[in-house]
Amino acid sequence: MSTTSLIDPQAAYKKLLETLREHANEWSNPAIVGVANGGVELARRIRDDLLPDSPVGILNLTFHRDDIALKPIPKDFMATDIPFDVDDRTILLVDDVFATGRSARAALNELFDYGRPQQVCLAVLVDIDQRLLPIHPDFSGHQTQLGAGEKVHVSLNSKTRELRIEIEHS
């Protein structure tokens, strides 16, 4: 197994931020929700860089997934925490990687248990486009195709703010 960093993380983030900025004025009363665990730090960073007055929430999809038969129990668990009313807001759903769309589907289910947002947008840092559902991200920092046996890992250190994107070959 080996990893390479072919994608420039700073460029990807910068592109994502710019795309978001173009549309930010269209949103009413926006709030940012990170999908646990990978989207949470990213959501906070977008808040800092783009929407300093908007609240940030966390969505944990563990109990909404449709693949309990396939997924191991996660080693680290970040509980769902939506400390604001989602009704009539624009919710910017943030995740690190977009692949099949299943996580986004589960996130929408979980989110709608909390209320009725006016609009939901999906922002991801990397779109690897293995889409299996009629769902796609509204904003992405980088688009790429993965070869067989490849996986993408995104990490964002909350202290050093170091952002890494790595592709794992097995």
Partner 1 sequence: MIQELTWNRKDLLTIEELSREEIDTIHALATQFKTTLGRSQKKLPTLRGKTIINLFIEPSTRTRIAFEIAAKRLSADVTLVEKAASSLVKGESLRDTAQVVEALNADMIIIRHSAAGSPAYLSQIVDIPVINAGDGAHEHPTQALLDTFTMREKLGHDLSGKKVTILGDILFSRVARSNVWALLKLGAEVTLAGPNTLVPKQFEELGVTVEYNLKKALADADVVMLLRIQHERQTSSHFPSLGEYKALYGLNRERAAWLKPEAIIMHPGPVNRGVELDSSLADGERSVILEQVTNGIVNRMAVLYLCASAANQTSETAI
Contacts with partner 1, residue ranges (CB under 8 A): 37, 60, 62-80, 99-100, 102-103, 109, 113-114, 151
Least distance (Å) from partner 1 to the CB of residue 61?
Answer: 10
Provide the 8-state DSSP code for 81: B
Contact 20, 123 (CB under 8 A): yes
- Residue number with CB closer to partner 1 (25 or 69): 69
Reported as type and span, the H/E element at residue 109 is helix 102-112
Reading the block at residue 72, the tokens are 């191991």
- Residue number with CB closer to partner 1 (22 or 76): 76
Nearest-5° angle of CA 161, CA 79, CA 40? Answer: 25
- Residue number with CB closer to partner 1 (62 or 118): 62
Least distance (Å) from partner 1 to the CB of residue 90?
Answer: 21
